[in-house]
Amino acid sequence: MDDVSLLICGAQPTPSSTPGTFPAALFLPVIVRQYTEEGPLTSLSPPEGGYDETDAGQPALARTSFSGVRTLWAPAGSQVAPDFVGGVALSPVEGTLYVAAGESLWLLDAQSGGVIGQIPVGAAARGLAVDVAASRIYAALPDADALVVINASRRLLWKTVPGIPGASGVAIDGDHVYVTATGSDELVVVDRQNYAIIKRLTVGDAPYAVACDPERQWVYIGNAGDDTVSIVDGRSGRVLNTAELDGLGHPHGLALDPSRARLYVTYASTPKYQAVASIDAVSGQVLSRLVGNDEQPLFGAYGIAVDTLLGRVYVTTVEGLLVLKGETLQVVGLLPGVGPAYAFGLHLDPVHQQLYVVDGGRRRLAVCGI
């Protein structure tokens, strides 16, 4: 390769007052994608003649020759099959997927889909988060009003944090675990070392999905009971800004691109149509929207993920998986036969260029080549 444009992504080291032994070398993943003069080569080729424009200026939902969708895991028993609200998360170091199904977390090989293990957690889980540094998995249990902590190395339930009414979404930074308490309109802040609840922050009505910028230590909360997204300073607990979505509101899924300072939100435009908004992650200003209409209702547009390398956004609908340009929310492709997934049911692996989808309608975990 004569010319290489290289993006390196990884965790920002957190200074510590405790002396320690550090490795002589730091190994980072290098993600190589073939480029042409027009940009990266992907499977999302527009149909011959290009896309048709709608009255709203958005291209019509053209079906593309997307690279592959397959069932990674579909258990025979209906009681353990993935449903609409279950979460999925990936441990990139181990190549292990964690899937909420039934009252357990299922451990799967991320490439083959083979079952590695099953960890009973006592209730159905929704939001999941992987703490690679601590070898911990966090799962929110809304019916148990609790957060459970899984020891990933030993594959067992290690600790339960009670007192989180309607626990739904989970996100982490260097010091804290953030959990949305949908039942008490709070963001609950849990100490990442001893798992004690250290703060309860009042946010909007029925907070649900949550995302975190670990470098800024800012937290983004989608308030499903109204039409807002709260932006909170995780250190001080102060609400910095509140983004108003307009329309019916009720935000479902969040996806954060910290490198571009963009937050993507799925929500209800009207009782009939869904919408996607791009929000400035600092000011809370809505920058662009993709709004459903009679031709493109965006039914079931709940689950959302962002590729921070390519700046692409993925949204599941009843018609399939939509691919959007992050800057404009212009539709550039549709993969039928997968979705919809709910707020916690998408996980993007940029290293292997795979998107994992909790496909509740087909009661399976699907993987899409992107």
Distances in whole angstroms, Cα of residue 198 to Cα of each of 48, 123, 161, 189: 57, 24, 12, 6
Per-domain residue ranges of the chain? 83-351
The predicted pLDDT at position 360 comes to 83
Residues of the chain with pLDDT under 70: 1-67, 78-79, 81, 83-84
Residues 166, 231, 134: CA angle, nearest 5 degrees:
65
The predicted pLDDT at position 42 comes to 33
- Tokens 């039928």 belong to residue: 336
Distances in whole angstroms, Cα of residue 350 to Cα of each of 32, 92, 124, 346: 10, 10, 28, 13
83-351 maps to CATH 2.40.128.110: no
Helix (H) or strand (E) holding 222: strand 218-223
Residues 6+ apart with CB under 8 A from 48: none
The predicted pLDDT at position 155 comes to 94
The predicted pLDDT at position 15 comes to 33
